[in-house]
Amino acid sequence: SGLADAETIRVTPSDDYAAIERAQAGDEVIIAPGTYRFRVFLSQTGTADAPIVIRAEDPADPPVWDLSGMRAEDAPGSSTRGDRGRGCWQITGAHYRISGLVVRGCSTSSGNAAGIRTIDTEGVTVRDVVFDGNEVGFSGTGEDTLVEHCEFTDNGVRSSPPQHSTYIYGGSITFRHNYIHDSAGGQNLHIRARRAVVEYNWIARASNYEADLMTGPDADQELIFRGNVLLTNPSPENSGQVFVLYDDGGGSDVRMTLRLLWNTIIVQGGGDPALVSVRNDTLAAATVELSNNVVVGTTRLVRLRDEGASNWTVTGGSNHLPSGADEAGLTGNVLGDDPGFADAAALDFRPAPGSALIGLADLGVAGAPDREYAEDET
């Protein structure tokens, strides 16, 4: 009966936030092309069978949320909460499906406004959204969040501490089939989730190092990084590492796992940074797995703050690594300086005929990909 009563709500630039925010379970909000300059606060609850759908009327001419030139807290909007400036779109409800937007220029006086922010949500999907020039692209907490087929460009702030292209505070999230590149500050991926799956994305040129897993609400944290293409910034602010595992909360019971599986990782700019830097002096336990990856540009795979401790494990193998790479803990690798890409200069990282990559992967590794990354940056 709920589906039978579902409503289609059409929104144009002459409407305000109320038209979008009143949608209930099973409703569909269709947003016309144009520029919108108000905040949206979504607090209704959909269900898995009757989500609240919010989509562009014409995906080829998407509606643009542009708060450039104003502080988000001063923009029109229904929320009077103290954190109302933390996002152009903020979601506290459940089971939303949001697609086809452009969100840009979101800023606040505290310097951490996101294009879209989730607050203890469940089952939120964000698809085909362009996050452009926000203090944070996507941020928040929630369970079973999915962000896919989105582009993140020029998000983040060079501050102390910096803001990032994505900033996940907790819960569980999947980033899939996104183009995440050229953060204006911080990392492309800053994750404090209990479980994060980052798969089949093209990730490039963070202002700082590329990604980290840091302390969140849960003692056990896992990041699965699978089937991605990653190109580092040739001259990042922090050139010492590509990935970081670090408990910055001062706790002694935090256990972190990073699984790097079937990725193509191109380290640009030289300097031999650590592929993974592990602050195991602050962690109860750290586990790093590197299986079936292609790594170019660095021979330093894992750097430990305290190699004499017994709280770390490095496993995996069947990677293609540069000549002279430190293989400690890994087996079955092939070392060499030419993986045999089809055309690396043109960003075509498929194996050419006769490439050493063909047949190298260990197909027994758990978590094999069932999709693939985008062909190139266009």
Cβ–Cβ under 8 Å, residues 324 and 335: yes
Q: What is the CA radius of gyration of the chain?
A: 21
* Count of helices and strands (H, E) across the chain: 1, 34
Q: Please, how many CA atoms are within 13 Å of residue 258, restricted to the half-sphere of its CB?
A: 26
Q: Which residue has the tokens 């996101």?
A: 114
H or E element that contains 341:
strand 341-343
Contact predicate 254/248, CB 8 Å: no
Span 242-294, pLDDT tens digits = 999 999 886 679 999 999 999 999 999 999 999 999 999 989 999 999 999 99
Pairing of strands 341-343, 348-351: antiparallel
Task: Give pLDDT, residue 268.
Answer: 96
Q: What residues are paired with 255 via a beta bridge?
A: 220, 285
pTM of the model: 0.96
Q: To 5 degrees, how large is the angle CA 72–CA 164–CA 106?
A: 15
Kindly state the average pLDDT of the residues 295-316.
Answer: 95
Tens digits of residue pLDDT in 114-133: 999 999 999 999 999 999 99
Tell me what the mean pLDDT of segment 74-91 comes to: 97
Instruction: List, for residues 170-194, the tens digit of each pLDDT value.
Output: 999 999 999 999 999 999 999 999 9
Q: What is the pLDDT of residue 4?
A: 60
- Cβ pair 110, 139 in contact under 8 A: no
